């Protein structure tokens, strides 16, 4: 971008008062300061996650084993859904930066078009996250443990977790230490009679995820999942609301009368920040 | 309510149709880069581990580097921080980097110790 920020100025002029030494408006600077503080919060959460994961003596769940489902489809698609969510968020970030660019040319139509697409992208992301939460909470059927300390995954055709032993196709599968459910091909089925016997003598039955326990791994795993993705999801939600308000103002021509579209830039900073955080959540929660 | 003692910096960001075309091309190039990096990350996570399980530590390191590359492009190009003055760039990035590097150091150090204590005394 051309203009003030690229001009060479002597320090006496820059810091001499009467002007911003950063050649930046008050609103934009305050948005940046807010984002720095918000970035510290998210970093704190991710570092806390790293701390717990690094210090734990229990087996920690593996991202590509836990997150491998797609809506409406059976089978194993490791990380594809999360990658799709990432793509949606990156593309809504692109439409946002194009809206900012259109604003710099005072192109009202362009701003409205790209802002509208940004809002749609944000809504798709929030919707995707709702599905992922629902899938995470319901789980894949849960596991039982026996008095000898053995662990078996519970399966039935109806995905019934309230009374799984009486649903059609009920059977157990021995769990592999440190891993989430095996792929279809590698599964070993326990016979129905043996399954029912183990089920009736079970010590615990854990299915899905809540704040106290979950079928994936240590309780902290689900707690961090809910808190980190929830906190990020709330940021996306508020970003969509901000973008929607800015879009309505753009349609009404408020910024055009003002002579500049800086409000789009400020909303854009927040929106890109949400994308930025997701890049880190994607790496540290799902990939590593 | 016009005030002549306030400099309107946002007007300086305005550019022509010609300059806009160049900026847009740059934006799409960065988009392509982000998409390619994300695809590489997913392929590494979903398949590389099954093929070459012994190189997983290297992949993890690659992830962190790729993430920092993506973050750099988002901040510099999408958030236009690369176009701002050097003093505002420093004021935003340096205090943050200082806090987080220290936090990372202390978290790695302490979690190592906690892990050692649990495996030794429990």
pLDDT of residue B1: 56
Q: How would residue A111 be classed by pLDDT, with cut points 50, 70 and 90?
A: very high
pLDDT of residue A156: 87
Q: Indicate yes or no: CB of A57 within 8 angstroms of CB of B63.
A: no
Residues A245 and A125 in one domain: yes
pLDDT of residue B102: 96
On the 0-12 / 13-18 / 19+ scale of CB atoms within 10 A, B41 is buried
Residues B101 and B119 in one domain: yes
Residue A185 lies in a domain: yes
Residues B74 and B100 in one domain: no
Residues B34 and B68 in one domain: yes
Residue B31 lies in a domain: yes
Residues A102 and A226 in one domain: yes
Helix, strand or coil, per DSSP, at residue A73: strand
> What is the C-alpha separation between B52 and A121, in angstroms, rounded?
36
Instruction: Convert the pLDDT of each residue in A142-167 to its tens digit.
Output: 999 999 989 999 988 888 888 888 88
pTM of the model: 0.92
Q: A154 - beta bridge partners?
A: A172
- A140 vs A272, higher pLDDT: A272
Residues B109 and B67 in one domain: no
Residues A148 and A121 in one domain: no
pLDDT of residue A3: 66
CATH of the domain at A236: 1.20.120.80
What mean pLDDT comes out for the span A95-118? 95
Mean pLDDT for all residues in chain B:
90
Which of A65, A125, A165, A161 minimizes the C-alpha distance to A271?
A125
Q: Indicate yes or no: CB of A56 within 8 angstroms of CB of B115.
A: yes
Token readout for A111 is 């701003």
What mean pLDDT comes out for the span A168-172? 89
- Placement of tokens 């009368």 in the chain: A257
> What is the C-alpha separation between A251 and A171, in angstroms, rounded?
59
Q: Indicate yes or no: CB of B38 within 8 angstroms of CB of A101.
A: no
Please give the radius of gyration of chain A, using alpha carbons only, rounded to the nearest integer.
25
Q: How would residue B2 be classed by pLDDT, with cut points 50, 70 and 90?
A: low
Instruction: Name the domain count of chain A.
Output: 2
Q: How would residue B120 be classed by pLDDT, with cut points 50, 70 and 90?
A: very high
- B54 vs A183, higher pLDDT: B54
Give the range of the structural domain holding residue B70, as residue numbers without chain letter: 19-83
Q: How many CA atoms lie within 13 A of A12 on its CB side?
A: 0
Residue A66 lies in a domain: yes
What mean pLDDT comes out for the span A35-57? 96
Instruction: Convert the pLDDT of each residue in A184-193 to its tens digit.
Output: 777 888 988 8
> What is the C-alpha separation between B70 and B61, in angstroms, rounded?
14
Fill in the DSSP letter of residue A284. I
Give the range of the structural domain holding residue A236, as residue numbers without chain letter: 32-137+219-287
Residues B79 and B89 in one domain: no
Mean pLDDT for all residues in chain A:
91
> What is the C-alpha separation between A81 and A124, in angstroms, rounded?
13
Instruction: Convert the pLDDT of each residue in B53-75 to its tens digit.
Output: 888 888 889 999 999 999 999 99
Instruction: Convert the pLDDT of each residue in A64-95 to its tens digit.
Output: 889 988 888 887 888 889 999 999 999 999 99
Residue B93 lies in a domain: yes
B-chain CB neighbours of A44 within 8 Å are 103
What mean pLDDT comes out for the span B109-116? 96
Global ipTM: 0.91
Residues A199 and A238 in one domain: no
A-chain CB neighbours of B104 within 8 Å are 47
Residues A182 and A42 in one domain: no
Give percent of chain A with pLDDT exceeding 90. 67
Q: Is B25 on the interface with A (CB under 8 A)?
A: no
Domain boundary among A206, A231, A250: A206
Domain boundary among A157, A174, A206: A206
B-chain CB neighbours of A264 within 8 Å are none
pLDDT of residue B50: 77
Instruction: Name the domain count of chain B.
Output: 2
């Amino acid at each position: 971008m051309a203009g003030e920020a690229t001009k060479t100025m002597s320090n006496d002029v820059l810091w001499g008062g009467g002007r911003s030494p950063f050649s930046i408006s008050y609103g934009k600077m305050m948005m940046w300061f807010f984002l720095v503080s918000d970035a510290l919060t998210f970093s704190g959460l991710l570092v806390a996650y790293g701390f717990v994961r690094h210090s734990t003596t229990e087996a920690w769940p593996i991202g590509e084993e836990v997150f491998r489902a797609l809506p409406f489809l059976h089978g194993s698609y490791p990380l594809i859904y999360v990658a799709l969510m990432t793509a949606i968020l990156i593309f809504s970030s692109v439409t946002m930066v194009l809206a900012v660019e259109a604003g710099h040319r005072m192109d009202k139509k362009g701003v409205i078009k790209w802002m509208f697409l940004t809002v749609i992208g944000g809504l798709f992301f929030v919707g995707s996250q709702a599905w992922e939460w629902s899938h995470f909470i319901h789980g894949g059927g849960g596991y039982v443990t026996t008095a000898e300390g053995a662990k078996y995954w519970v399966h039935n055709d109806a995905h019934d977790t309230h009374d799984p032993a009486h649903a059609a196709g009920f059977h157990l599968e021995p769990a592999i230490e440190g891993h989430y459910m095996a792929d279809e091909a590698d599964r070993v089925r326990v016979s129905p009679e043996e399954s029912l016997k183990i089920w009736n003598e079970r010590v615990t039955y854990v299915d899905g995820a809540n704040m106290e326990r979950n079928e994936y791994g240590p309780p902290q795993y689900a707690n961090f999942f809910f808190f980190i993705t929830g906190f990020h999801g709330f940021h996306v939600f508020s970003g969509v609301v901000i973008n929607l308000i800015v879009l309505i103002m753009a349609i009404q021509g408020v910024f055009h009368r003002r002579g500049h579209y800086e409000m789009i830039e400020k909303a854009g900073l927040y929106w890109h920040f949400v994308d930025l955080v997701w890049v880190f959540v994607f790496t540290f929660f799902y990939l590593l | 309510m016009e005030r002549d003692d306030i400099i309107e910096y946002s007007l300086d960001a305005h550019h022509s149709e010609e300059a806009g075309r160049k900026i847009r091309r740059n934006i799409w190039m960065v988009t392509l880069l982000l998409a390619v990096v994300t695809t590489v990350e997913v392929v590494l996570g979903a398949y590389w581990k099954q093929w070459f399980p012994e190189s997983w530590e290297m992949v993890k390191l690659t992830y962190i580097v790729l993430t920092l590359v993506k973050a750099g492009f988002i901040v510099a190009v999408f958030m236009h921080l690369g176009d701002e003055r050097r003093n505002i760039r420093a004021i935003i990035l340096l205090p943050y980097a200082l806090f987080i590097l220290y936090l990372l150091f202390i978290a790695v150090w302490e979690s190592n110790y906690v892990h050692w204590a649990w495996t030794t005394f429990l």
